[in-house]
Structure 1
């Protein structure tokens, strides 16, 4: 995790004390100097029940700002020189795409932050004059910019920075479209295949199954708003609902467990934003259970700048729709 701290004596002691009280263990840390603030990166371990948002709060209460949490693997404890040398080896000897390596080294997955301020952009120059752009929610430090540019320059000299061609997919791509009354049974079947955890994240309450036809109809043709579905073959594998609640537009989505992690949620977020914009919305709010950190990552992957707030035990993620192209049938 990474946070910005005031450059003053005692601040690290306050961070360490807060972590100790929260039973968060600091395994390693790295300092990116600055004035009047510094950026510190911590590798920590916490109890399995602690969410990324709760971990961020520990550091915020101890004086940290711009707190960002990113889940890492065991190699996070390696020093940076070792990690970059390993990345160089993966490109030159393993034939891996340099952009993919840099994204791993820089941790470009959108983090779970209490105040998500969008993406910082890193433009790297190849020897042949072309550029490689990498974006991340957490601002890049000068040291990270220098390291990334040095790695790209080295592999460019070796002629190894040409992206590898990916084989074409053999399975049909999922189709995102507006829901119709013909989707009532498909939406009900989608919910039937979802786990209790997925249903809870969507509805913030236990949902009785099987779903009634009345509820499925409301999800397909809402009273105020519209619905979208993601279809693969004959199955509905994702569903999103745009609704106007008083003066606020909301979007709720659900993705079948077997299809999670394949970009379906990102597709629904983009569709929901475009559909809401067509209905006249200026902002769109996603509502989810407090323990669901995945939705914030999905909104970030869709390219939106978000404001995260807590209301009545749930998390509200609000994005402005300025510049979003309205989607209409």
Structure 2
């Protein structure tokens, strides 16, 4: 089993030797290493091969007992030991010669896929500046080092100068026809990006509380795979432009919908109402309550467009629209 272990060490002699000795005693083979200088601490990233049966918790515990701080261990593929400069040069080539999106290459180089870490402490955010002044934001659970920030900005600047710089968080192009589908684990980043593109007012209408950005991985997971419910997304091209969650709340089933500002009044809420009602019927439910902000008249129009005659109630800052789900 191969693991990437990142740890912070005080910048003084002998500590790295202690970690190497501890790995040797436990029969963990160090096959790759990067050093990210800093003051007064240094961040070391090691790729180790552990005996079968080892878990991320055991690997992290070994490094902590050897003197490591802020240890994070994640499972990696066999290609992980490749040196970073080579991988970044290959990434630039993939964008310039192979046409891969620069966002996709950066996610791979920086390891921003949702990690299965032993002790998740929340997202660190990396804002990269494009040549036209726009910002490309990426985030992950493991903190970014200054070296990684410099490398990522250099790669974005290189491909940007060549004209290969499409936005990730900028408002979505209204070109491709939208499609409703079930949410999947791979939609974590797309749902997070959708929330970042939405205005404060749109987010407040959806959640009825101020929502802090960017989304944590834990919240994104709940939105994509609710413990006791069902999630839907609307996809246009490669972007997710709307999202809905069907779940049980205090003895009743609710549907909460979020549509990107640029896609309002284009029928997406109606699509999600119809699809949410279909899912609710399949679960054997007799009624479904759509919950939104008290002033959200778009929901009422969408319900009518979807063909429902509903009961409308207003509770403080919330609008409750209950749909009967008799077979049609």
Q: With structure 1 as the length reference, what TM-score do the two structures score?
A: 0.52
Mark the CA change 1:174 to 1:7 in structure 2 (over 3 Å): closer, same or farther: closer
**Alignment match of 1:17 (pick from 14, 21, 34):** 21
Please tell me whether residue 41 in structure 1 is matched to residue 50 in structure 2. no
Mapped contact 1:30–1:42 kept (Cα < 8 A): yes
Name whichever of 161-170 and 144-153 sits farther off: 161-170
Kindly provide the CA deviation profile for residues 11-52 of structure 1, in whole angstroms up to 9, marking residues without a partner as x: 112101211222211012111112221100001111221111
2: distance between equivalents of 1:4 and 1:271?
42
Number of the residue aligned with 2:202: none
SS class of match (2:74): coil
Kindly provide the CA deviation profile for residues 142-180 of structure 1, in whole angstroms up to 9, marking residues without a partner as x: 1111110010011111111126999879784259xxxxx
Number of the residue aligned with 1:80: 84
**Alignment match of 1:68 (pick from 72, 82, 101):** 72
2: distance between equivalents of 1:160 and 1:20?
45
2: distance between equivalents of 1:227 and 1:28?
38
1: distance between equivalents of 2:34 and 2:127?
24
> CA RMSD for the aligned pairs?
3.7
* Unpaired segments ≥5 residues, structure 2: 185-225, 233-242, 253-317, 323-328
SS class of match (1:54): helix
**Alignment match of 1:173 (pick from 182, 204, 208):** 182
Mapped contact 2:230–2:246 kept (Cα < 8 A): no
Indicate the structure (1 or 2) with the bigger Cα radius of gyration.
2
Mapped contact 1:117–1:137 kept (Cα < 8 A): yes
Higher relative CO (Cα under 8 Å, sequence separation at least 6) belongs to: 1
1: distance between equivalents of 2:25 and 2:249?
46
2: distance between equivalents of 1:156 and 1:25?
39
**Alignment match of 2:62 (pick from 52, 58, 62):** 58
Kindly provide the CA deviation profile for residues 53-103 of structure 1, in whole angstroms up to 9, marking residues without a partner as x: 211111111111111122222332221111001000111111111011001
**Alignment match of 2:164 (pick from 160, 166, 169):** 160
* Unpaired segments ≥5 residues, structure 1: 176-225, 233-266, 279-325
1: distance between equivalents of 2:147 and 2:227?
46
Q: Give the aligned length.
A: 196
Please tell me whether residue 93 in structure 1 is matched to residue 90 in structure 2. no
Mapped contact 1:70–1:109 kept (Cα < 8 A): no
Residue 231 of structure 1: how far off its partner (Å): 8.4
Number of the residue aligned with 1:213: none
Number of the residue aligned with 2:314: none
Number of the residue aligned with 1:105: 109
SS class of match (1:117): coil
Please tell me whether residue 139 in structure 1 is matched to residue 143 in structure 2. yes
Mapped contact 1:119–1:135 kept (Cα < 8 A): yes
Residue 111 of structure 1: how far off its partner (Å): 3.4
Mark the CA change 1:131 to 1:227 in structure 2 (over 3 Å): closer, same or farther: closer
2: distance between equivalents of 1:5 and 1:110?
25
